[in-house]
Amino acid sequence: MLTTLKTAYTDTRADDLAWALGRDPLPALARLDLELSGAKLQLRLLGASHQVLLEEERGSCSETVACMPGSSTPLPLGVAKRLGDWEYEFAARVETLGRGSFAGRAQELLALVADHPQGLAGTFPGSPHAFTAMLAQRSEGQVRWRTWHAYPQEGSLVVTRTRVGVRTPAAAL
Protein backbone atom coordinates (compact mmCIF):
# COMPACT_ATOMS: atom_id res chain seq x y z
CA MET A 1 0.00 0.00 0.00
CA LEU A 2 1.37 3.41 -0.99
CA THR A 3 0.07 6.60 0.58
CA THR A 4 1.00 10.26 0.73
CA LEU A 5 1.50 11.27 4.35
CA LYS A 6 -0.39 14.39 5.33
CA THR A 7 2.37 16.07 7.29
CA ALA A 8 5.43 18.16 6.70
CA TYR A 9 8.65 16.25 6.18
CA THR A 10 10.27 16.66 9.60
CA ASP A 11 13.07 14.06 9.61
CA THR A 12 16.04 16.06 8.52
CA ARG A 13 18.98 13.67 8.91
CA ALA A 14 19.53 9.95 9.13
CA ASP A 15 21.64 10.58 12.25
CA ASP A 16 18.54 11.87 14.07
CA LEU A 17 16.91 8.42 14.11
CA ALA A 18 16.73 6.57 17.40
CA TRP A 19 15.66 3.02 18.26
CA ALA A 20 13.41 1.90 21.10
CA LEU A 21 11.87 -1.39 22.13
CA GLY A 22 8.68 -1.59 24.18
CA ARG A 23 7.21 1.88 23.59
CA ASP A 24 3.47 2.41 23.70
CA PRO A 25 1.75 2.98 20.35
CA LEU A 26 2.44 6.44 18.97
CA PRO A 27 0.05 8.42 16.73
CA ALA A 28 0.26 6.98 13.21
CA LEU A 29 -0.23 8.80 9.92
CA ALA A 30 -0.84 5.48 8.16
CA ARG A 31 -1.03 1.88 9.27
CA LEU A 32 -1.47 -1.60 7.91
CA ASP A 33 -2.94 -4.39 10.04
CA LEU A 34 -1.76 -7.88 9.10
CA GLU A 35 -2.60 -11.40 10.29
CA LEU A 36 0.38 -13.66 9.61
CA SER A 37 -0.30 -17.27 10.65
CA GLY A 38 -1.58 -16.39 14.10
CA ALA A 39 0.59 -13.31 14.61
CA LYS A 40 -1.06 -9.90 14.55
CA LEU A 41 1.28 -7.31 13.12
CA GLN A 42 0.63 -3.61 12.75
CA LEU A 43 2.94 -1.58 10.52
CA ARG A 44 2.71 2.10 11.48
CA LEU A 45 4.13 5.12 9.65
CA LEU A 46 4.77 7.99 12.02
CA GLY A 47 5.49 11.64 11.35
CA ALA A 48 8.99 10.67 12.40
CA SER A 49 9.45 7.28 10.74
CA HIS A 50 8.07 3.87 11.88
CA GLN A 51 6.66 1.67 14.60
CA VAL A 52 5.84 -2.04 14.43
CA LEU A 53 3.50 -3.71 16.91
CA LEU A 54 3.55 -7.50 17.10
CA GLU A 55 1.08 -9.54 19.14
CA GLU A 56 1.03 -13.30 19.40
CA GLU A 57 -0.20 -15.78 22.03
CA ARG A 58 3.33 -15.87 23.49
CA GLY A 59 3.45 -12.11 24.03
CA SER A 60 3.88 -8.79 22.34
CA CYS A 61 6.65 -6.62 20.99
CA SER A 62 6.84 -2.97 19.99
CA GLU A 63 9.71 -1.57 17.90
CA THR A 64 10.08 2.14 17.19
CA VAL A 65 12.63 3.75 14.88
CA ALA A 66 12.02 7.47 14.79
CA CYS A 67 13.29 10.92 15.62
CA MET A 68 12.43 10.93 19.31
CA PRO A 69 13.27 14.13 21.16
CA GLY A 70 15.13 13.38 24.36
CA SER A 71 15.96 9.81 23.35
CA SER A 72 19.33 8.62 24.56
CA THR A 73 19.35 5.48 22.39
CA PRO A 74 20.72 6.24 18.92
CA LEU A 75 20.08 3.89 16.04
CA PRO A 76 22.28 0.85 16.73
CA LEU A 77 23.99 -1.21 14.06
CA GLY A 78 22.66 -4.36 15.72
CA VAL A 79 20.68 -5.61 18.70
CA ALA A 80 19.99 -9.13 19.93
CA LYS A 81 17.67 -9.54 22.92
CA ARG A 82 15.57 -12.17 24.60
CA LEU A 83 11.97 -11.16 25.09
CA GLY A 84 10.32 -13.90 27.14
CA ASP A 85 10.04 -16.90 24.80
CA TRP A 86 11.26 -14.86 21.83
CA GLU A 87 14.57 -13.87 20.33
CA TYR A 88 14.60 -10.36 18.89
CA GLU A 89 17.24 -9.32 16.37
CA PHE A 90 17.56 -5.89 14.81
CA ALA A 91 20.12 -4.56 12.34
CA ALA A 92 20.52 -1.17 10.68
CA ARG A 93 22.79 0.37 8.11
CA VAL A 94 23.00 3.66 6.24
CA GLU A 95 23.51 3.69 2.48
CA THR A 96 24.90 6.91 1.00
CA LEU A 97 24.07 7.34 -2.68
CA GLY A 98 24.64 9.94 -5.37
CA ARG A 99 21.65 11.97 -6.59
CA GLY A 100 20.91 9.78 -9.66
CA SER A 101 21.50 6.53 -7.79
CA PHE A 102 19.32 7.71 -4.93
CA ALA A 103 16.38 8.54 -7.20
CA GLY A 104 16.61 5.14 -8.92
CA ARG A 105 16.87 3.26 -5.62
CA ALA A 106 13.91 5.22 -4.21
CA GLN A 107 11.73 4.35 -7.22
CA GLU A 108 12.78 0.69 -7.02
CA LEU A 109 11.90 0.41 -3.31
CA LEU A 110 8.58 2.21 -3.63
CA ALA A 111 7.62 -0.08 -6.53
CA LEU A 112 8.58 -3.15 -4.45
CA VAL A 113 6.45 -2.14 -1.48
CA ALA A 114 3.53 -0.25 -3.07
CA ASP A 115 1.61 -3.26 -4.40
CA HIS A 116 2.84 -5.86 -1.92
CA PRO A 117 0.00 -7.19 0.29
CA GLN A 118 2.28 -7.03 3.34
CA GLY A 119 3.89 -3.70 2.51
CA LEU A 120 3.25 -0.10 3.53
CA ALA A 121 4.98 2.98 2.14
CA GLY A 122 4.36 6.65 2.69
CA THR A 123 5.81 9.54 0.74
CA PHE A 124 6.15 13.00 2.24
CA PRO A 125 4.83 16.10 0.46
CA GLY A 126 7.47 18.17 -1.27
CA SER A 127 9.83 15.41 -2.40
CA PRO A 128 8.92 12.27 -4.35
CA HIS A 129 11.96 10.55 -2.87
CA ALA A 130 11.30 11.37 0.79
CA PHE A 131 9.58 8.25 2.11
CA THR A 132 9.36 5.53 4.71
CA ALA A 133 8.58 1.99 3.53
CA MET A 134 7.99 -1.28 5.39
CA LEU A 135 7.63 -4.89 4.29
CA ALA A 136 6.70 -7.83 6.57
CA GLN A 137 6.64 -11.62 6.27
CA ARG A 138 6.32 -14.72 8.39
CA SER A 139 8.27 -17.88 7.70
CA GLU A 140 9.48 -20.84 9.73
CA GLY A 141 7.79 -19.56 12.90
CA GLN A 142 9.46 -16.16 12.71
CA VAL A 143 8.10 -12.73 11.90
CA ARG A 144 10.43 -10.49 9.93
CA TRP A 145 10.21 -6.96 8.66
CA ARG A 146 12.41 -4.62 6.71
CA THR A 147 12.20 -0.85 6.58
CA TRP A 148 13.66 1.94 4.48
CA HIS A 149 13.85 5.59 5.55
CA ALA A 150 14.85 7.97 2.76
CA TYR A 151 16.63 11.28 3.25
CA PRO A 152 17.00 12.69 -0.27
CA GLN A 153 18.53 15.99 0.84
CA GLU A 154 21.61 14.13 2.11
CA GLY A 155 21.45 11.11 -0.20
CA SER A 156 21.02 8.72 2.73
CA LEU A 157 18.87 5.63 2.96
CA VAL A 158 18.52 4.01 6.38
CA VAL A 159 17.79 0.31 6.00
CA THR A 160 16.67 -1.86 8.91
CA ARG A 161 15.76 -5.51 9.28
CA THR A 162 14.16 -7.22 12.25
CA ARG A 163 13.50 -10.83 13.17
CA VAL A 164 11.34 -12.00 16.06
CA GLY A 165 10.98 -15.71 16.71
CA VAL A 166 10.62 -18.41 19.33
CA ARG A 167 13.78 -18.92 21.31
CA THR A 168 15.45 -22.26 20.63
CA PRO A 169 16.28 -24.08 23.90
CA ALA A 170 20.00 -24.83 24.34
CA ALA A 171 19.23 -28.59 24.58
CA ALA A 172 17.71 -28.48 21.08
CA LEU A 173 20.91 -27.06 19.62
CB atoms under 10 Å from CB of 82, counted, come to: 9
The per-residue pLDDT for range 110-137, each reduced to its tens digit, is 999 998 999 999 988 878 788 999 999 9
Contact yes or no for 64/50 (Cβ under 8 A): yes
- Predicted local confidence at residue 12, as pLDDT: 66
What's the pTM? 0.89
Tell me how far apart the alpha carbons of residues 158 and 149 are, in angstroms, rounded to a whole number. 5
pLDDT of residue 171: 43
Beta strands of 13-130 (E only): which ranges? Answer: 18-21, 30-36, 39-46, 49-56, 59-66, 78-83, 86-96, 119-123
